[in-house]
Each structure stands twice: as C-alpha cells, then as structure tokens.
Amino acid sequence: MHRGLIPCSAAIAILATLIEGTTHRADAASLAEVRQNGSLRLCANPSALPYSNLADRGDLAGFEVELAEVLAHEMGLELGVIWVRNAGDIKNLDCDVLMGVVASAASYYREGLTGPLTTHLPLRFSRPYADSGVVLVISSRTSVRRLEDLHGQKIGVMVGSVEHEWLAKHGFRVSVFASQEDIIAAIEAGEIEVGATNPVIIGWYRHEHPSTAVRIPDGYEPDPALHWSVSVGLRRADDALLAAVDAALARVVEQRIPAQIYAKYGITYLPPSDAGLR
C-alpha cells in the first residue's frame, strides 16, 4: 500500500511527496544514536510561515517548529533545525523528522487520486497528532456553505493539488491558482467568491488580517476524501526511536500543548480522529 505525505500548503511544497511503504533500512538510526547526538533534527523550510520560519518574527518560529521543539524536549533532547527549500535535497540531509505528514488517507487512494508527486522518501510514521485536510473558504458576498451549494459556480483551487484533482473528477468547475494564498487574495478582490484551502492557511491569513471577511463557513465538514490526520515522519528510525516519539507525542497531546501552539498562529487545532484515517 502507498502512503502519502501531503503538503499543508504550497508554502511548504518541498514536502509535496508520496511515500513508499513503511519499511526501514538496515542503516536505521537508533534511539541510542539520537540520544548520543543530544538532538532531534527537523527538516523545515526557512520561509514558510506559519509552518516554519528562519527570519526574525519575534516568537513566531512556525507552529511545526514549536511543536517539534516540545516533542524533542519531552524526549530529553534539544531540537536541531535543518533548513531546506527543495524536496529533492531532503534525501541528502541528516534530518530525523518531518512534521505534518499524512501517514494514512485510505479514501484518498480508494478514489485513485495522485496529487503532487515530486520525490520519494522512506519514512516511518508516528501516531497521528492532529487532523487536517481541505476546507471551503468564502467571502461575505456568497451564500455557499458547502460544496453542494455551488450549483455550477467556480471554486478556486491550487493547480495540481489533491483538491484540484478531486473536485475536477467529481464535476465541479474550478479556477486554478498558483498558491492557496493567491486564492484568498482573489476572494478578497472579488474575483471569485469561493475557494478550497488548507485550514492552516486561512487561519494564518485571518491572524495576519483580523478585519478580513474571508472565512470558513460555520460548521463546515470536509468531504472524507479531503480529510486526513497528520503525523511525524521519521527517517531511518528504528523501533525504539519510533516508540519514543509515539510516547512523547501521546504526553504532548494529552497536555493539550498542540492546541496552545496552533492558537498563537490563529489556527484551530483539531485532535486526530478516526475520520481522518478512513
């Protein structure tokens, strides 16, 4: 079975990757080696707020960087960040983890979707720590509250994305954009009234533009094919390292730390659910 690493945003398109299997290699990194190094090494984009950020934005290092730091500290380690802009470079770098990967989205594969495919990485997957997916974003000018309300109206999508493929396959009219941020800008400008984005992107946009009327419809529920849970992706991990990450994640989620970190960026935290793994 294929397992997918689906990007949360075009801003981190370096992670727009399909992952092949969960088998780890003979040179798997052991928990003992990670502890000897004293740090858990994260691969992250240096300019991908709200996910990760190297520039000086006060205490906003990116919610995935902050969550990875809490995870590392829970394991008795420091966090080391390896900054990478291009997907093809990840396989040559010595990072231990990637945040926000989709370990299982059975409905995505059942429908024959492929999404963006840029490289292959051998990963193992932690327990899920949050739900994610694709949601509608609307302007104040529209009465649309769900996909069924579109009635032939075009919906803005990022070109080549999972949602682009799924919506077109199911007969919806789409207007394509280079990024999810461009979709929101088009809604603000009145060029379109409805778009499809990751909830992280619209949450961050509203955080940075508190007067905006662009929003997710109240009570909106994503289609199961566009709904998944996200995990930590581990490179070259042995069983002990995977188990240690899982145990630390369980404690972090139980303490509701992800919700506190997400809130700093205007993002609504959704705990992992069975729906995200169907």
Q: What is the mean pLDDT of the chain?
A: 83
The domain spans of the chain are: 2-132+225-277, 135-221
pLDDT above 90 covers a percentage of the chain that reads 66
pLDDT attached to residue 107:
45
For 175, the token pair is 């207007």
Q: CB neighbours of 266 closer than 8 A, spacing ≥ 6?
A: 50, 203, 204, 205, 206, 207, 208
Fold of 135-221: D-Maltodextrin-Binding Protein; domain 2 (3.40.190)
Answer yes or no: CATH 3.20.20.140 is held by domain 2-132+225-277: no
207-237 per-position pLDDT tens digit: 999 999 999 999 898 888 898 889 999 988 9
Residue 171, class by beta-carbon neighbours within 10 Å (0-12 exposed, 13-18 middle, 19+ buried)?
exposed
128-155 per-position pLDDT tens digit: 999 999 999 999 999 999 999 998 899 9
pLDDT attached to residue 51:
95
Confirm whether 2-132+225-277 and 135-221 share one CATH topology.
yes
